[in-house]
Structure 1
């Protein structure tokens, strides 16, 4: 089957500028003091589409990545393919599952840091439990109780949004 050229007018093609590697550091530094309106304009120029309705810090971080990507290049095709394959293994190819984490538990290896009573407390998330002061704990609430001497919701004590699955 042969394809005929489309007779409908197409959307205007947006040209994304190349960024010279020598300009990267200056542009990254300037992001910190640029007003949000100008950040959104940069987004339009560097991504060729409207910016998302997120906060300034998010837009700055994505612009910083994009500036470096346009100067130095993005991920290699082999890396993209590997990441896709790993995603397939984790979610069986289900796009919805790929976008939603199974639970809200922090990933193993994550360190939760909380200052209480002038002391910094560090908890390491492990696959099936939490480690605090070299000892395993089944819940963050048990650790919060150990630290404060009172009952706390551990997820709240450590500043996490909610409990797993909630």
Structure 2
């Protein structure tokens, strides 16, 4: 008997999006997220294989969690920032604001502005402007719609 799983996975590519969303509801017992089609396909493919062949072993999950904590120190905010999005330590961010050039240095675990350490770019943007800003937007690392 042949394994039907590869055929199910291949069919995801040509399945209409409303049908993918219905599969999501069936496989995850929740409403599908508002993400793009590729995301739905990849998560559905993983879930189909997970249900058919089994998920990660508990020791693998524990190891991944330990590695994640080593990277972000268990700080949930840091874990949301993708590592490949973070500027390399030593990078200098420049922004002119009201005629004054502001220089921020990226550190291994945060940022430095005017000789003081900061945990976030938003805190620096607030110190510069006196108002709340998304620091990534303020320094031009992300546009106001969330794209890099």
Matched, 1:76 2:57: yes
Higher helix share: 2
User: What is the CA distance between 1:101 and its match in structure 2?
Assistant: 2.7
CA RMSD of aligned residues (A): 2.6
> Which residue in the other structure is 1:151 paired with?
none
Distance across 2 between alignment mates of 1:106 and 1:70: 38
In the alignment, is the contact (CA less than 8 A) between 1:43 and 1:49 conserved in 2?
Answer: yes
User: What is the CA distance between 1:57 and its match in structure 2?
Assistant: 1.3
* 1:45 aligned counterpart, secondary structure: helix
User: What is the CA distance between 1:65 and its match in structure 2?
Assistant: 0.8
* 1:85 aligned counterpart, secondary structure: helix
From 34, 39, 44, the counterpart of 2:20? 39
1:1-166 counterparts in 2 under 5 A? 22-101=3-82, 104=85, 166=141
Greater relative contact order (CA < 8 Å, ≥ 6 in sequence): 1
Larger radius of gyration: 1
In the alignment, is the contact (CA less than 8 A) between 1:104 and 1:165 conserved in 2?
Answer: no
For normalisation by structure 2, the TM-score amounts to 0.55
Partner deviation per Cα, 1:90-121 (whole Å, 9 max, x = no partner): 111111111113561699xxxxxxxxxxxxxx
User: What is the CA distance between 1:53 and its match in structure 2?
Assistant: 0.5
Extract unaligned runs of 5+ from structure 1: 1-20, 108-163
Aligned length: 91
Distance across 2 between alignment mates of 1:94 and 1:63: 29
User: What is the CA distance between 1:54 and its match in structure 2?
Assistant: 0.9
Extract unaligned runs of 5+ from structure 2: 89-138, 142-148
